[in-house]
Amino acid sequence: MTLLIIEQLLNGLQYGVMLFLLAAGLTLIFGIMGVINLAHGSLYMVGAFAGTWVATETGSFWIGVPAALAAAMLTGFAVEAVVVRRLYARDHLDQVLATFSLILIFNQLIVLIFGRAPIYTALPPAFSESVELIPGLFYPPYRLLIIAVGLLVALGLWGLINFTRIGMLVRAGSTNREMVRALGVDIRLLYTFVFGLGAMLAGLAGFMTGPILAVQVGMGEQILLATFVVVVIGGVGSIKGAFVAGIGLGVIDTCLRAFLPGLLRNLMPASEADALGLGISSMGIYLLMAVVLLIRPKGLFAVEG
């Protein structure tokens, strides 16, 4: 039982850092630019497809990493320059409509280039066999790699935001956009940078999940909803919030799915326990969001401003 709990905690951690990678970009874009970017999932998909394609062509998973980052970042720059830049002054409905249309456009472009069939993604050879972490606990090393990368990125972002000039501007921008502009900072350049950074993180997440999930059209929409929940719970604009909420939600979601039906089975007949357990665990993160919003309407780590 202890082993099962450790394994599920690791699983939750892995899912959590994935959510964090996506939510970090989304929360910055939302917090600093005030743009609801539904197409964030498309950038995740672009990273997955570009990275996987390069990895397959070259035969090396590791060459796929910079390709995924570059493709997602360049796509991010293009999206910002062509579409999102025109939306800063508009209200949220316009932003939702425009970025939703981007989802459709990106999905269709991917179909035109790669076709509809999901594409095969190889695991890096060194990470393909599961390892025995402690006696009796077998765990896929690739998931450990994802956890490590996610934590490194979190550390890097923390350093970037807290100890660099750009980070200072980002922090200032998420607290008071107008003041930053009034102080003569080239806000347009800052926006482009933030958007590109967010896109790059989404692309990294997309490429890293490729070997675990299916790289296919529409893969971004599957994870987008959970990402928005993370952003809302963590507090819009807060990287720290995205980190805590991402890991928290990942662990809670995984543990609910894994343990709730079993616990309920002690209280009621198996079939009812399964149905109820499944119901509650699929609602879990949304219930949590509702509770957090009741207590702290601006999220756990709301940016003051």
By the rule CB under 8 A, 40 interacts with another protein: no
| Tokens representing residue 41 in the block | 């999932």
Q: State which amino acid sits at residue 69.
A: L
Q: What is the dihedral of CA 236, 238, 240, 243, to 10 degrees?
A: 40
By the rule CB under 8 A, 223 interacts with another protein: yes
| Tokens representing residue 281 in the block | 């665990």
By the rule CB under 8 A, 156 interacts with another protein: no
Binding residues among 267-286 for another protein as defined by CB under 8 A: 274, 278, 282
Which residues are paired to 132 by β-bridges? Answer: 138
Binding residues among 165-184 for another protein as defined by CB under 8 A: none
Q: In terms of CB distance, is 180 or 201 closer to another protein?
A: 201
CA 166 to chain centre: 22
Q: In terms of CB distance, is 37 or 209 closer to another protein?
A: 209
Cα(26)–Cα(31) distance, rounded to whole angstroms?
Answer: 8
Q: In terms of CB distance, is 107 or 192 closer to another protein?
A: 107
CA quadruple 144, 145, 150, 151: dihedral sign: positive
Out of 31, 211, 220, 299, the residue judged to bind another protein by CB under 8 A: 211
- Nearest approach in angstroms of CB 146 to another protein is 11
* Count of C-beta atoms within a 10 Å radius of residue 114: 17
| Residues in touch with another protein (CB under 8 A) | 4, 7-8, 11, 14-15, 107, 111, 115-120, 122-123, 128-130, 138-140, 142-143, 209, 211-219, 222-223, 254-255, 257-258, 261, 274, 278, 282
